[in-house]
Structure 1
């Protein structure tokens, strides 16, 4: 009887290990991630969602999975992933996000002037191109390191009201840390864009591979250069309060297939 129990335990271990990424990342809600099985073929399937290429990896050396970023604007219900000519359905559940009310002294950061809007439009186009970059590299890790050591302050998806006026939801995760705190790359990657923007202030984009992008903004200092390859843990800049910020903090965006998703998913801090 003891031998049978031991054999059953051993047989269960590979299946348990195989599901690690799925258990970690599968949070199929608006602003979340859907993990879609693609089979165990010899070569990686080509997957697309909403017309955009999707990150595909092999889970524990066994089966291929697509890791799909779900935009905040998607309504709960059925969605379709295209993979090598197949239409694969997955379900998106509901999630209620909190509200946040922020007072800014600089009214131009709430209602920009016409000349500001031209700058914002130009900067948005530049950053959109960086988010849509899709390299062939496989990310070094999907369980990410925290870029800084500190408590979470403003979470992803919060509906934001600046001086009483609603603006876009919070597209990243904020950490409450002091100015000058070093910010480290949560996974290996390539610096694809550096800028100093109207809303985001000093900003760094890091491409981890296959459309898996980190963006860090409001920095006080940038310590890397465009095109630089960053090993995991490299200091890329320092925390600041540049751009539209009420004080020093570290703001971190994660994008998958050009959809901004909750970074908390990748550091095992997601709240349903």
Structure 2
């Protein structure tokens, strides 16, 4: 079992403590840091929380952060950095038996490309009033799922690809549908045939399933401590809410439901309610 897996339970989140000075976070030369520390907008920052007998707690922008035990009694925070964050210094709030402190980490810059997509269904570009009402309701339940923070530690942080196939769209791409700009691409798209089995990238619990206007048939898996996978556009869902799935367990089949121009899998990864580049977790990140 990898040395970064920890079985300690973390059950509460820490709020901001603004009165304390910020300290520069040191970065240990560790396997997890080398693999995951990509501190750019839409990336991941690995912040050293120091040594402690018990698991410290951490928060960023008021939201609880995944904390793992790395080596000995050393703890690391695995922080999702929003696409909207500007390059420069950011602060993580950490709390342990010695008290609270602010830890500074630096976010670099990254430029994302553009993608232009033509859709035959104009409602998928400019939804009508009934569509908008549906979309708003769907967004509420999806946001609730992204904000889940269960106490368990993920079975693995280096994830398995949910399908084997070529990437058709990368994370962070500025998207133009029928010439109109919409939100940046929040995940990875894999171009694979309809019916291809979709596997869970890590063990977890199914916390949401549904058929949504944009995402089509969707499964959301909670891997622990705010580490969430969303898998979209399925032709079929093979799990139900509450199911515990193993790493590699099949959750559904590839399709083209929702806003899709053909069969493919869209995969989101979220940390601390922040969509981050899944390529980081499969060793495919490009600066």
TM-score interval w.r.t. the shorter chain? Answer: over 0.9
Alpha carbons of structure 1 residues 249 and 21: separation in structure 2 relative to 1, 3 Å: same
Partner secondary structure for residue 121 of structure 1: helix
Contact in 1 for aligned 2:52/2:73 (Cα 8 Å) = no
Contact in 2 for aligned 1:18/1:60 (Cα 8 Å) = no
Contact in 1 for aligned 2:146/2:226 (Cα 8 Å) = yes
Give the aligned partner of residue 260 of structure 2: 245
Contact in 1 for aligned 2:161/2:201 (Cα 8 Å) = yes
Divergent runs of 4+, >3 A: none
Question: Structure 1-normalised TM-score?
Answer: 0.93
Structure 1 stretches of 5 or more lacking a match?
Answer: 1-16
Deviation at 1:171, TM superposition (A): 0.1
Contact in 2 for aligned 1:39/1:64 (Cα 8 Å) = yes
Give the aligned partner of residue 229 of structure 1: 244
Task: Return the alpha-carbon distance in structure 1 between the equivalents of residues 237 and 29 of structure 2.
Answer: 39
Deviation at 1:176, TM superposition (A): 1.1
Deviations along 1:31-80, one digit per CA (max 9) or x if unpaired, are 00000000110011110000000000011444100000001011111100
Task: Return the alpha-carbon distance in structure 2 between the equivalents of residues 244 and 150 of structure 1.
Answer: 20
Give the aligned partner of residue 57 of structure 1: 68
Contact in 2 for aligned 1:18/1:62 (Cα 8 Å) = no
- Answering whether residue 19 of structure 2 is matched by residue 33 of structure 1, we say no
Partner secondary structure for residue 220 of structure 1: strand
Give the aligned partner of residue 68 of structure 1: 79
Give the aligned partner of residue 171 of structure 1: 186
Matches within 5 A, 1:109-148: 109-148=124-163
CA RMSD across the alignment: 1.0
Partner secondary structure for residue 130 of structure 1: helix
Deviation at 1:18, TM superposition (A): 6.2
Contact in 1 for aligned 2:53/2:73 (Cα 8 Å) = no
Partner secondary structure for residue 23 of structure 1: helix
Question: Structure 2-normalised TM-score?
Answer: 0.88
Matches within 5 A, 1:158-237: 158-237=173-252
Contact in 1 for aligned 2:92/2:103 (Cα 8 Å) = yes
Give the aligned partner of residue 14 of structure 1: none
Task: Return the alpha-carbon distance in structure 2 between the equivalents of residues 43 and 23 of structure 1.
Answer: 24
- Judging by fraction of residues, say which structure has more helix: 1
Deviation at 1:151, TM superposition (A): 1.2
Task: Return the alpha-carbon distance in structure 2 between the equivalents of residues 129 and 245 of structure 1.
Answer: 24
Structure 2 stretches of 5 or more lacking a match?
Answer: 1-27
Task: Return the alpha-carbon distance in structure 2 between the equivalents of residues 241 and 99 of structure 1.
Answer: 22
Contact in 2 for aligned 1:135/1:211 (Cα 8 Å) = yes
Partner secondary structure for residue 140 of structure 1: coil
Task: Return the alpha-carbon distance in structure 2 between the equivalents of residues 163 and 170 of structure 1.
Answer: 15
Deviations along 1:90-127, one digit per CA (max 9) or x if unpaired, are 00000000000000000000000011100000000010
User: How many residues matched?
Assistant: 256
Structure label with greater radius of gyration: 1
